[in-house]
Amino acid sequence: MIRIPIRSISKEPLEKRYHAVAPLYERILETLYKDVQRILNEGGMKVTVRRRLKSFESLFSKVLKKARQVHLYYHFEGVEPSVVITDFLGIRIVCPFLEDTIKAEDLIRRNLEVVEQEYKGEEYSPHEFGYVSTHIIVKVGGPLEVEGVFQEEILAEIQIRTILQDAWAEVEHELMYKAEFTPFDEPLRRKLSAVNANLSLSDIIFQEIRDYQRKLQQELRTRRRSFLQKLQAESIETASLNSSSDLIPPPAPPSSVPKESPFYQTLDNLLLEALSAHNQQEYARAIELYTYILNRKPKKSIRALVYIHRGMAFFGESNYDKALEDFTLAINLEPENPRIYFYRGVVQRFRKDLNGALVDFNRSLELDPYHFDALYNRAQVYFTLGNYVQAAEDCRQALALKPKIPEARRFLDVIEQKLRF
């Protein structure tokens, strides 16, 4: 914070004082900058952080602007009027998404001493657009005497905004404030407002896409866990030697999902609804939705993905013939995808076709030699076939990738007991 008495506003003395105090404030700013970076990094945030010490010309311009306002509205006698600059030290946090600005704000509030906060742009009506940013004033020092002037506290301004909000702020500053638009520029003002509206909408859409992706990934992870859960529950009988149950929580109990007509839904929404039904073990509903998506003839990569999901749903219903058919269709579309061969190999095991399972697990491992599940399941197939040497080798390789899987460790103990006899 810089406090300047109105009677002291003279450019040359102020500029001299500015250059005298600038090194001290630069050091204070650098410390704050590192603190903010640390706070955000520890909070798991990937954002851009910038710092700046207000230039003298910018500072003097703002002092004059505020002095005019103080002179116009000052009515208190006996108190020397002055202007206060709170953004002499500035930090800017630029975030990819809207939700990141909220998280960054929370981290700053919890870790720094906040003096004041303002949400720029919240005064706009739904029909208005303009500068949007969160401004937080934090205390970084004081009381302190700087060049003979007592500063009761040293403040800094932290601005938090999205990438698009930051882009708009930079452009608006150049085009609006520096150019000082006249009333004749109203058509250009409307154009700028339209651009800002598009940027604001883009921020909202980006956040919606991110929310969708997060939910989709959560559903996909749950779907994969449920597939391995069934594999674990119904695998070969080797003294509780099945897939990694410590990493696979039990599936969520069934619950209802919306049974809306899929006709008007997008492929993304259909897939998300199908995955949700699938994860709730509503296999018939999931298969119905997967089939509807396939009937809409999406592009090749989407068809392969949906065949995989529908194959897993059939697997969940214990309809292994249909599951085998879908995984084969997916392989025909993506013959270099190692995970599909693993899925089909699992189905072959459940169909008691151990040789077919070996072929698929072998192909999966040719494409990806570091596939834990393929190694572990091939070890189980070799064990069933009595090939304990190969079973032990596969199990050791699997444990080298995931050494903390207790079931795999116990399985290896059983295999080694077989090898000793």
For 281-334, the pLDDT digits (tens) are: 889 999 999 998 898 888 888 899 899 999 999 998 899 999 999 999 999 999
Omega into 143 within 30° of 0, i.e. cis?
A: yes
Whether residue 245 is contained in a domain is answered as: yes
What pLDDT does 78 receive? 55
**Both 96 and 221 in a single domain?**
no
**Both 127 and 244 in a single domain?**
no
Whether residue 164 is contained in a domain is answered as: yes
Q: Which of 67-76, 327-336, 402-411 has the lowest mean pLDDT?
A: 67-76
Please count the structural domains in the chain.
2
**Both 171 and 320 in a single domain?**
no
Tokens 């206060």, residue?
A: 84
Q: Which of 26-40, 70-84, 333-347 has the lowest mean pLDDT?
A: 70-84
**Both 238 and 366 in a single domain?**
yes
**Both 259 and 390 in a single domain?**
yes
Q: Is the pLDDT of residue 130 over 90?
A: no
CA separation (Å) from 76 to 68, 85, 97?
Answer: 16, 20, 45
Strands 154-162 and 82-85, bridge-based pairing: unpaired
Rounded CA-CA distance 277/268 in Å is 14
**Both 8 and 96 in a single domain?**
yes
Q: Which of 128-132, 355-359, 371-375, 402-406 has the lowest mean pLDDT?
A: 128-132
Q: Are 131 and 169 in contact (CB under 8 A)?
A: yes
Q: Is the pLDDT of residue 264 over 50?
A: no
Whether residue 188 is contained in a domain is answered as: no
Whether residue 141 is contained in a domain is answered as: yes
Average pLDDT rounded to a whole number, residues 84-98: 90
Last residue of a domain, one of 180, 196, 215: 180
Q: What is the mean pLDDT of the chain?
A: 81
Residues 6+ apart with CB under 8 A from 147: 17, 20, 21
**Both 168 and 277 in a single domain?**
no
Q: Are 115 and 137 in contact (CB under 8 A)?
A: yes
Whether residue 404 is contained in a domain is answered as: yes
**Both 50 and 162 in a single domain?**
yes
**Both 162 and 238 in a single domain?**
no
Whether residue 193 is contained in a domain is answered as: no
CATH code of the domain covering residue 237: 1.25.40.10
Whether residue 187 is contained in a domain is answered as: no
Rounded CA-CA distance 229/323 in Å is 16
CATH code of the domain covering residue 37: 3.30.460.10
> Which range has the top average pLDDT, 166-180, 194-208, 368-382?
368-382
Query: In this predicted model, what pLDDT tens digit does every residue of 5-14 receive, in sequence order?
Result: 776 678 888 8
Distance separating the N- and C-terminal Cα atoms of the chain: 82
Q: Which of 159-168, 213-222, 371-380 has the lowest mean pLDDT?
A: 213-222
Whether residue 416 is contained in a domain is answered as: yes
What pLDDT does 394 receive? 95
**Both 139 and 243 in a single domain?**
no
Query: In this predicted model, what pLDDT tens digit does every residue of 224-255 receive, in sequence order?
Result: 666 766 666 555 444 344 433 333 334 444 43
**Both 237 and 348 in a single domain?**
yes
Tokens 């079973």, residue?
A: 391
Q: Are 165 and 132 in contact (CB under 8 A)?
A: yes
pTM of the predicted model over 0.75: no
> Which own/partner pairs from 12-18 qualify as long-range (CB within 8 Å, at least 24 positions apart)?
14/56, 14/60, 14/63, 15/56, 15/60, 17/147, 17/149, 18/56, 18/59
Tell which residue, 339, 303, 308, has the closest CA to residue 325. 308
Q: Are 364 and 345 in contact (CB under 8 A)?
A: yes
Last residue of a domain, one of 180, 196, 218: 180
Containing structural domain, residue 7: 2-180
Assign 3-class secondary structure to 325-343: HHHHHHHHHCCCCHHHHHH
Q: Is the pLDDT of residue 110 over 90?
A: yes
**Both 131 and 62 in a single domain?**
yes
> Which own/partner pairs from 405-412 qualify as long-range (CB within 8 Å, at least 24 positions apart)?
405/244, 405/246, 405/247, 405/376, 406/246, 407/240, 407/241, 407/242, 407/243, 407/244, 407/245, 407/246, 408/241, 408/244, 408/376, 410/239, 410/240, 410/241, 411/238, 411/241, 411/376, 411/379, 411/380, 411/383
Last residue of a domain, one of 144, 164, 180: 180
